[in-house]
Amino acid sequence: MSQGMRVENKVFAATLTTVVLTVVFQCVFFPWRQLELLSEAVEGKTSLLGRVLALEIAPGLQFKDNEAILDSLKAAVIEDVVWAAALSADGTVITAHGPEPVEAALRPAFSSTPRTLDLGDSIWATWPVTTKGGGDGLEATLGLRVSKRAIQGQHDAVLRTAFLVGLLFVALGAIVAWLARRSLTRVLASQKELVQQINHTAVQLNAAAGDFLAGARQQERGASEQSSAVEETRRTMTSLLESGRVIAQTAHSVLEHAEHTQENSQVVADRIAALSAHSRRITEISEVIKEIANKSDLLALNAALEGTKAGEAGRGFSLVATQMQKLAENVMGSVRDIKDLAATITAATQASVLATEESTKLATDTTLSARQIAQVIQQQQSGTEQVTLAMNEVSKIAQETTDASAQNVRSSQGLIGLSETLQTLVARIAEGSAELASQETRPEVQPR
């Protein structure tokens, strides 16, 4: 009888311990791990959506285009996102969309860093919105309310399923233990059938764990592929950022050349203006020389007349007067040539002035355009840097997802090990039952 009690206690302890360990593992680990993964996924999705949406509504805030902001917010309010709003620095709603707003008391003050607030049934997150490169142009705050009802519903469903399955396993274990303790020798035949059923259940558990392991491995492969794709995108954004820096340097060089051209055009214009002034001065001096030549010609003519009146005595004087008259005429011809040349220089100078003014205007316009291009490139480079930071965050989340999938694979392998242990224990119970059955079927020795 004591031998039977020892075997009975072993069967009871082994069965109950295995069932309790399996149920505790199933009811605690899997729901907790699923809730953790779902929460990480929602936070990652909220972070990525907030960064991208903040960049998208920045132009609308800069140009006060509320319709464009509202269109962007409407596009964001899908699935778990129940409310999106653009807030001013004091928390006042500029533009919002969604059926479940956040009370003004819960809206955080304006901040240059993202913030997250857990409201229980949802998550309230804010991101600063910048419209000028480098983070110096804080204009407003983007607010998102993300519902947790979906993940909570999934968690509750898994928890209920795990609890029901656990109750089923506990009930089955209690039934088996109770039947074994009630009468081990009387129900050996039925116990054998129950052991077979338990073995079948363990096989099914092992198969289910194998299916879960296959799914976890497939999820791990998918997470690895997603991580590789995100890493490739991140490298592409890094290359784009480097290209933007090269373009910015080129635009800065173009701006310097345009400013230098503008300065040179101004110097040329000043010199042409000075040349025009000198040309006018030459014309004035030529007029004075012409007037002197006219007077000299008139005096020479009068002297020639007086020399003619003087007869032979004034003949030499007449010759000198004639030469002076010719010299005056030559001077007048030279003066006319100088005036013509000065007029030509003046006309060319005026044309050069017009061309220089046009060149100066063109250089000014080029400088302005180069500055605008440099500003746009700077803003684009700033946006690219922010997108690169966002892709780095996504890459980090993808890596964490891959690690979590690997952890699920290891947990599934542990569950398979537990099911194999259960099968081993069931086999030992069957052996013990067979041994007891053989002991009770031995013939008793009759006294003589």
The whole-number average pLDDT for the span 333-356 is 79
Q: List the domains of the chain with CATH numbers.
A: 1-158 (3.30.450.20), 185-440 (1.10.287.950)
Cα distance between residue 2 and residue 304, in whole Å? 174
Q: Are 435 and 249 in contact (CB under 8 A)?
A: no
Q: Are 176 and 198 in contact (CB under 8 A)?
A: yes
Q: Which residues contact 83 (CB under 8 A, 6 or more apart)?
A: 77, 96, 97, 98, 99, 100, 101, 102, 143, 144, 145
pLDDT, averaged across the chain: 74
3-state secondary structure 297-323: HHHHHHHHHHHHHHHHHHHHHHHHHHH
Structure-token pair, residue 341: 């040349």
Q: Which CA distances in Å does 430 have to 168, 173, 210, 425?
A: 22, 15, 25, 9
pLDDT in tens, 290-305: 778 777 777 777 877 7
Question: Looking at the predicted structure, is the pLDDT value of residue 119 above 80?
Answer: no
pLDDT in tens, 124-134: 788 888 766 54
Confidence of residue 108 (pLDDT cuts 50, 70, 90): low
pLDDT in tens, 43-81: 777 778 888 888 888 888 888 888 888 888 888 887 788
Question: Looking at the predicted structure, is the pLDDT value of residue 4 above 50?
Answer: no
Which ranges of 118-187 would DSSP assign to H, the alpha helix? 149-182
Question: Looking at the predicted structure, is the pLDDT value of residue 261 above 50?
Answer: yes
The whole-number average pLDDT for the span 399-424 is 75
Residue with tokens 């142009």: 137
Q: Are 164 and 91 in contact (CB under 8 A)?
A: no
Lowest mean pLDDT across 3-17, 88-102, 157-171, 322-336 = 3-17
Confidence of residue 445 (pLDDT cuts 50, 70, 90): very low
The whole-number average pLDDT for the span 388-416 is 75
The whole-number average pLDDT for the span 31-54 is 78
Structure-token pair, residue 156: 């509750």
Structure-token pair, residue 108: 């955080």
- Which pLDDT score is estimated for 135? 47
Residue with tokens 């030279």: 334
Cα distance between residue 233 and residue 340, in whole Å? 73
Residue with tokens 């109750």: 167
3-state SS class at 185: coil
Pairing, β 122-130 against β 81-87: unpaired
Backbone dihedral angles phi then psi of residue 92, each to the nearest 5 degrees: -75, 140
- Bridge partners, residue 116, by sequence: 125
- Which pLDDT score is estimated for 447? 41
3-state SS class at 173: helix
Q: 313 vs 49, which has greater pLDDT?
A: 49
Question: Looking at the predicted structure, is the pLDDT value of residue 441 above 50?
Answer: no
Q: Are 94 and 60 in contact (CB under 8 A)?
A: no
Looking at the chain, the whole-number percentage of residues with pLDDT higher than 70 is 78
Cα distance between residue 192 and residue 195, in whole Å? 5
In single-letter form, the type of residue at position 276 comes to S
DSSP 136: T
Confidence of residue 435 (pLDDT cuts 50, 70, 90): low
3-state secondary structure 228-247: HHHHHHHHHHHHHHHHHHHH
Q: 263 vs 10, which has greater pLDDT?
A: 263
Question: Looking at the predicted structure, is the pLDDT value of residue 443 above 50?
Answer: no
| CA 243-246-248 angle, 5° bins | 110
Looking at the chain, the whole-number percentage of residues with pLDDT higher than 90 is 0
- Which pLDDT score is estimated for 439? 53
What is the rounded end-to-end Cα distance, in angstroms, of the chain?
Answer: 26
CB atoms within 10 A of CB 70: 18
Highest mean pLDDT among 66-80, 220-234, 321-335, 390-404: 66-80
Q: Please name which of 210, 214, 341 lies closest in space to residue 285, comparing C-alpha atoms.
A: 341
In single-letter form, the type of residue at position 390 comes to A
- Which pLDDT score is estimated for 1? 44
In single-letter form, the type of residue at position 178 comes to W
Residue with tokens 């778990």: 80
Q: Which CA distances in Å does 358 have to 346, 355, 361, 383?
A: 18, 5, 5, 37
- Which pLDDT score is estimated for 186? 59
Q: 34 vs 54, which has greater pLDDT?
A: 54
3-state SS class at 447: coil
Q: 398 vs 133, which has greater pLDDT?
A: 398
359-386 b/e (C-beta count within 10 Å ≥ 16 → b): bbeebbebbeebbebbeebbbebbebbb
Q: How many CA atoms lie within 13 A of 314 on its CB side?
A: 13
Residue with tokens 């039977």: 4
- Which pLDDT score is estimated for 131? 65
Confidence of residue 184 (pLDDT cuts 50, 70, 90): low
